[in-house]
Amino acid sequence: MLADLRSKYPLHNYERSALIMRDLRVVKSQTEIELTKKACAITKDAFERVLKFTKPGVTEYEIEAEIIHEFTRQRATGHAYNPIIASGKNAIVLHYIDNNQVCNDGDVILFDFGAEYANYNADMSRSIPVNGRFTKRQRDVYDAVLRVMKAAKEMLVEGTIWNEYHDEVGKVMTDELIGLGLLTRHDVEKQDPKIPAYKKYFMHGTSHHLGLDVHDFASRYKPFEVGNILTCEPGIYIPAEGLGIRLENNILITKGGNVDLMADIPLEAEHIEEIMNS
Ligand SMILES: [Mn+2]
């Protein structure tokens, strides 16, 4: 295209816009924030619909149909990305999008879905018990992920440096994995700092920018600024137990703190159970 433009319009100057666009799109305007909030609100309604719909024996694709029904009904332009509805051991597959299995009694389903509204995206993850009640072990893992999420959220503020943030979250996660009996102090002492031991159970990043793209364009070397919207999405995946739990909210950085754009979407395990059993 560039060669074509150059031959048709040889007197113009051509420069790359990416460097300018990258800095412009990473700081959201009020309108962009409102559209993202709307995408989050539609995602909330779809999740609450799913909470009431899910029971042993339903299939992952039936749940997917519930989600798109709610999205379309509210004029979302569709899924922000291929939705993940991963019950039981399917949750171990990070980008599982087959969504074709039966949800069995006793399993946890990991959801990762979000609405797209007017080109802006929501990106939410939740993990719920198929039968409406977590087992003791599922609940312990769930609460560990939730504590990491809450600690990570605190760090999503103006001035935070990308790498330092991920290192700090890694430390919190390491302690939780020791608490769950998945790692030992010895594992951590002998770990290769380049591939910390926690990566065995938490092998993806904690956050990414969110905007016009679900994984929005941004410099990794610029500290977080007011107006950034980032995901916060720790997870623990235990193949031997057929269990994967991820929780993800979307966070707007504001002057002196942040605002959780998904603060009203059920998150605490007790709240999830209460809605499923109501
Ligand atoms: Mn995400």
| pLDDT tens profile 209-267 | 999 999 998 888 899 999 999 999 999 999 999 999 999 999 999 999 999 999 999 99
For residue 103, tell me if it sits in a domain: yes
For residue 16, tell me if it sits in a domain: no
Coil/strand/helix, residue 90: helix
What is the residue type of 15? E
Q: Mean per-residue pLDDT for 4-31?
A: 92
Provide the 8-state DSSP code for 170. Answer: H
Going by pLDDT thresholds of 50, 70 and 90, the confidence category of residue 101 is very high
Distance CA 90, CA 93 (A): 6
Given a cut of 90, is residue 17 above it in pLDDT? no
For residue 4, tell me if it sits in a domain: no
By the 8 A CB rule, do 54 and 109 touch?
yes
CA of 215 to the centre of ligand 1 (A): 7
Going by pLDDT thresholds of 50, 70 and 90, the confidence category of residue 57 is very high
By the 8 A CB rule, do 228 and 76 touch?
no
CA of 151 to the centre of ligand 1 (A): 17
CA of 125 to the centre of ligand 1 (A): 8
For residue 52, tell me if it sits in a domain: yes
Residue 23: the pLDDT is: 85
Q: What's the number of domains the chain is made of? A: 1
Residues in the 5 Å CB sphere of ion ligand 1: 123, 231
Angle at 196 between CA 190 and CA 201, to 5 degrees: 115
For residue 3, tell me if it sits in a domain: no
CA of 207 to the centre of ligand 1 (A): 7
CA of 218 to the centre of ligand 1 (A): 15
Q: Mean per-residue pLDDT for 137-147?
A: 98
For residue 15, tell me if it sits in a domain: no
CA of 140 to the centre of ligand 1 (A): 23
Going by pLDDT thresholds of 50, 70 and 90, the confidence category of residue 11 is very high
pTM: 0.93
Given a cut of 90, is residue 27 above it in pLDDT? yes
Closest CA to 232 of 128, 139, 120, 146: 146
Residue 79: the pLDDT is: 97
For residue 30, tell me if it sits in a domain: yes
What is the residue type of 177? L
CA of 8 to the centre of ligand 1 (A): 42
CA of 192 to the centre of ligand 1 (A): 27
Starting at the edge strand found earlier in the chain, the sheet holding 115-117 runs 78-79, 115-117, 120-121
Q: What CATH number is given to the structural domain containing 215? A: 3.90.230.10
For residue 12, tell me if it sits in a domain: no
CA of 222 to the centre of ligand 1 (A): 20
Q: Taking the CA atoms of the chain, what radius of gyration do you get in angstroms?
A: 20
Q: Mean per-residue pLDDT for 118-130?
A: 98
By the 8 A CB rule, do 104 and 56 touch?
yes
Domain that holds residue 177: 21-276
